[in-house]
Amino acid sequence: MDKKAIDKSKLPSRHVVMGPQRAPHRSFYYAMGLTRDQINQPFVGVASCWNEAAPCNISLMRQAQAVKHGVAAANGTPREFCTITVTDGIAMGHEGMKSSLVSRDVITDSVELTMRGHGYDALVGLAGCDKSLPGMMMAMCRLNVPSVFIYGGSILPGQFKGKPVTIQDVFEAVGMHSVGNMSDADLEELEQVACPSAGSCGAQFTANTMATVAEAIGLALPYSCGAPAAYEFRDQFCAMSGEKVMELIARNIRPRDIVTRKALENAATVVAASGGSTNAGLHLPAIANECGIKFDLFDVAEIFKKTPYIADLKPGGRYVAKDMFEAGGIPLLMKTLLDEGFLHGDCMTVTGRTIAENMASVKWNDDQDVVRKASTPITPTGGVVGLKGNLAPDGAIVKVAGLANQKFTGPARCFDKEEACFEAVKNKDYKEGEVLVIRYEGPKGGPGMREMLATTAALYGQGMGDKVALITDGRFSGATRGFCIGHVGPEAAVGGPIGLLQDGDIIEIDAVEGTLAVQLSDEELEARRAKWQPRETGYGSGAIWKFAQTVGPAKDGAVTQPGGFGEKITYADL
Ligand SMILES: CC[C@H](C)C(=O)C(=O)O
Ligand SMILES: [Mg+2]
């Protein structure tokens, strides 16, 4: 990037390194070996969610070095820093899962504070596990300095008895083992081979769903999110992201120029088209909130309703993320959706060009069956559906990709926390035809709105995926399959109808019509509400308690602060 193209006198770092009064600050940079020229260049924060908690994040340190090379090659000065990540595959099924969603907003806040504190002029964010991707993208929208996002990449599939497997198979094997359909020896062999490399959970689960969102919303370079983490080939995209952010500074192209309502609609479209994680129904409103855009679960569901399901990806389909990469990556999915009019082509992206301009060079690949043409879909509507009704006045969400039957009516069997339901499932202490209800697991009521993969996978592993339904004011992992309805709002902790249910109430679920109802009169519900009492969560201090004090409803993204609605001057303009 031509140095003259950037006027540093208008950049945030001018407050840190320009003028005699900033001699002490420059002294610190000399202490780290920077030269005067480097101090006089734009500073680029290279924010990484690296940690050793899980394979999702472990390769990000390597990839961050490639980003820094790209920044430096384009006459920028990279400054690497880490934020946290809570990994769901480790947190699943116990109290630790209450930290997962809370960590999304902590990631956003910590990146914001580091960028503001040091006056960095631009941001390249690297993330691997699930909610760290929206956490990083939320920070980019909040700060609104030129930014490029890059996903760390998917894990490679394991091989078990000649078949490709992912972590989803291990969670479901717990259910098979619990009913004697898998031996101890097979379970031990499976857990040792299912996850062979670095990278995030290997199919269209939440991490790969949000990676697909990153390219579709325009914050990641085309093709940059597709290559598996173990392929060092992907580091070229890291370097390109570092170079590209310098061009965005010169052209003053910022995240809120990119993340518009149309871009959010494009993101929701690729989620539905790929049968992606229901967590996108939470994270897209949260990203929108940081831009001051009202885009809630119902807006997302409207897009879902009119989008064909075209990518045959696990958990509902046959293939994993590596297969998608080899078929042509996220651009292949976007190409057919754009050609058939399902995407807005005039949205700006971090390439400095529009979606349509980016897709012009993408060639369709007939020599694959991972992605169908949008004109010949797997099913005519999206793999994910929004629901509403007297049991969910504030909405709910269900992944229908791969579901043979999309209607279910049955008696409620209520549990006031996930562990109680898991015990019942593990001991087969439930009946076919029941609707299992897990409540007091919402954003405030958990607190933390846990994912319920341990329970849903055990059910599916017992062969009961279409024989019982499960509804919760909590949420699901992207690897959840079966008739599982999440994000039921209002949540039980604030007096929502799900908290008024009693065993035996008849619940009607209709994912075709988009309804979730209980066969009770308004009078009966009101009578029960009059007797309802709020409950203690057991958290009276700390990060999870703090989250519960300010978190809003799931339909608006379970965010802990009103986003860009109120602020007049973003950090980028200080
Ligand atoms: C085990 C991790 C799982 C795949 C997940 O948490 C998600 O996709 O949301
Ligand atoms: Mg998850």
| 130 shares a domain with 20 | yes
Q: Are residues 429 and 487 in the same domain?
A: yes
Dist CA 244 CA 225 (whole Å): 15
Nearest atom in ligand 1 to the alpha carbon of residue 205 is 8
Task: Tell the burial category of 3 from Cβ atoms under 10 Å away from its Cβ (0-12, 13-18, 19+).
Answer: middle
Domain boundary among 346, 374, 402: 374
Question: Is 264 in the same domain as 146?
Answer: yes
The phi, psi pair for 516, rounded to 5°, reads: -140, 110
Residue 131 assigned to a binding site:
yes
Determine the Cα–Cα distance for residues 331 and 355; give it in Å rounded to an integer.
10
Strand ranges in 334-383 using DSSP code E only, listed in sequence order = none
The reply to whether 189 falls in a domain is: no
pLDDT for the residue numbered 232 = 94
pTM: predicted TM-score of the whole model, two decimal places? 0.97
Provide the residue range defining the domain that includes 511: 386-536
Q: Write down which residue in 374, 397, 431 finishes a domain.
A: 374
Give burial (CB, 10 Å; 0-12/13-18/19+) of 75: middle
The answer to whether residue 356 is domain-embedded is yes
Q: Is residue 185 part of a domain?
A: no
163 annotated binding-site participant: no
Amino acid sitting at position 85: T
The answer to whether residues 311 and 401 belong to one domain is no
Known binding residue 451? Answer is yes
Cα of 569 vs its chain's centroid, Å: 28
pLDDT by residue for the chain (574 residues), tens only, comes to 676 678 888 999 999 999 999 999 999 999 999 999 999 999 999 999 999 999 999 999 999 999 999 999 999 999 999 999 999 999 999 999 999 999 999 999 999 999 999 999 999 999 999 999 999 999 999 999 999 999 999 999 999 999 999 999 999 999 999 989 999 999 999 999 999 999 999 999 999 999 999 999 999 999 999 999 999 999 999 999 999 999 999 999 999 999 999 999 999 999 999 999 999 999 999 999 999 999 999 999 999 999 999 999 999 899 999 999 999 999 999 999 999 999 999 999 999 999 999 999 999 999 999 999 999 999 998 778 999 999 999 999 999 888 888 999 999 999 999 999 999 999 999 999 999 999 999 999 999 999 999 999 999 999 999 999 999 999 999 999 999 999 999 999 999 999 999 999 999 999 999 999 999 999 999 999 999 999 999 999 999 999 999 999 999 999 998 766 556 678 888 8
Beta strand 435-438 pairing with 163-165: unpaired
Ligand 1 site, residue 138, Cβ cutoff 6 A: no
Question: Residue 103 falls within a domain, yes or no?
Answer: yes
Across 263-275, b (16+ Cβ under 10 Å) vs e yields bbbbbbbbbbbbb
Quick one: CA dihedral 363, 221, 134, 568, positive or negative?
negative
Residue 569 burial (10 A CB sphere; 0-12, 13-18, 19+): exposed
Mutate to test the pocket of ligand 1, among 130, 132, 456 (most ligand atoms within 8 A of CB): 130
Q: Are residue 306 and residue 282 in the same domain, yes or no?
A: yes
CB distance 477 to ligand 1 below 6 Å: yes
Residues 422 and 367 in one domain: no
Cβ(478) to ligand 1 under 6 A? yes
The CA distance from 325 to 333, in Å, is: 10
**Residue with CA at minimum distance from ligand 1 atom 9:** 477
Say which CATH number the domain at 49 has: 3.40.50.2300
| Phi/psi at 35 (5° precision) | -95, 170
Which of 453, 480, 487 to probe ligand 1 with, by most ligand atoms within 8 A of CB? 453
- 305 and 398 fall within a common domain: no
The reported pLDDT for the residue numbered 274 is 95
Which atom of ligand 1 lies at the shortest distance from residue 100's CA? 6
Rounded Cα distance between 472 and 301, Å, is 18
Measured CA distances, 182 to 92, 189, 418, 458, 573 (Å): 21, 11, 24, 12, 59
Ligand 2 centroid to Cα of residue 450, in Å, is 9
Ligand 1 contact, 206 CB (< 6 A)? yes
- The pLDDT, as a whole number, for residue 3 is 66
Q: Is the CB of 479 under 6 A from ligand 1?
A: yes
Q: Report the half-sphere exposure of 277 (CA within 13 A, side-chain side).
A: 29
The answer on whether 56 is annotated among ligand-binding residues is yes
CB of 105 closer than 6 angstroms to any ligand 1 atom: no
Counting from 1 in the atom list of ligand 1, the atom nearest the Cα of 203 is 4
ipTM > 0.95, yes or no: yes
Classify the C-alpha dihedral 93-171-309-331 as positive or negative: positive
Q: Ligand 1 in contact with 451 (CB < 6 A)?
A: yes
Q: Is 180 exposed, middle or buried (0-12, 13-18, 19+ CB in 10 A)?
A: exposed
- Of 322, 342, 374, the residue at which a domain comes to its end is 374
Q: Are 408 and 512 in contact (CB under 8 A)?
A: no
Alpha carbon nearest to ligand 1 atom 5, residue:
477
Q: Is 25 exposed, middle or buried (0-12, 13-18, 19+ CB in 10 A)?
A: middle
Ligand nearest to the CA of 478: 1
The Å distance, Cα 54 to ligand 1 centre, comes to: 12
Cβ atoms of 213 and 267 within 8 Å: the answer is: yes
Atom of ligand 1 nearest to the CA of 88: 6
Does the residue 557 lie in any domain? Answer: no
Residue 275 has what pLDDT?
A: 92
Q: Which residues contact 208 (CB under 8 A, 6 or more apart)?
A: 154, 200, 201, 202, 276, 313, 321, 324, 478
User: 552 C-alpha vs ligand 1 centroid, how far in Å?
Assistant: 23
Q: Is the CB of 89 under 6 A from ligand 1?
A: yes
User: Atom 4 (ligand 1): residue with closest C-alpha?
Assistant: 479
Q: Is residue 367 domain-shared with residue 408, that is, in the same domain? A: no
Q: Do 251 and 289 reside in the same domain of the chain? A: yes
Q: Compute, in angstroms, the gap from residue 446 CA to the centroid of ligand 2.
A: 16
Distance 354 CA to ligand 1 centre (A): 31
Which residues are the active-site residues?
477
Q: Whose CA is nearest to atom 2 of ligand 1?
A: 89
Helix (H, G, I), strand (E, B) or coil at 396: strand
Structure confidence at residue 301 (pLDDT): 92
* Ligand 1 and 266: CB distance under 6 A: no
How far apart, in Å, are the Cα atoms of 498 and each of 228, 395, 416, 494, 555? 40, 12, 10, 10, 15
- Residue 448 domain-assigned (yes or no): yes
Instruction: Give a yes or no: residue 555 inside a domain.
Output: no
Ligand 1 atom index nearest CA of 89:
1
Shared-domain flag, residues 348 and 404:
no
Chain centroid offset of residue 285 CA: 11
Residue 378 neighbours by CB distance under 10 Å: 18
Place of tokens 């899980």: 54
Whether residues 308 and 216 share a domain: the answer is yes
Length of the chain: 574
> What is the total count of domains within the chain?
2
Nearest CA to ligand 1 atom 1: 89
Q: Which ligand is nearest to the CA of 174?
A: 1
- Please work out whether the CB of residue 229 comes within 6 Å of at least one atom of ligand 1: no
- Nearest listed ligand to the Cα of residue 90: 1
Pairing of strands 469-472, 435-438: parallel
Q: Whole-angstrom Cα distance, residue 123 to residue 134?
A: 15
Annotated ligand binding at 513? The verdict is no
Q: Separation of 207 CA from ligand 2 center, angstroms?
A: 7
**132-143 and 100-118 helices, crossing angle to 10°:** 30
Residue 201 near ligand 1, beta carbon < 6 Å: yes
Write down the pLDDT at residue 566. Answer: 56
Strand partners, 154: 200
Residue with tokens 């994000």: 487
- Flag whether 142 is in a domain: yes
Shortest-distance atom of ligand 1 to CA 209:
8
488: CATH:
3.50.30.80
- Token pair for residue 380? 């005519």
Q: 322 and 393, same structural domain?
A: no
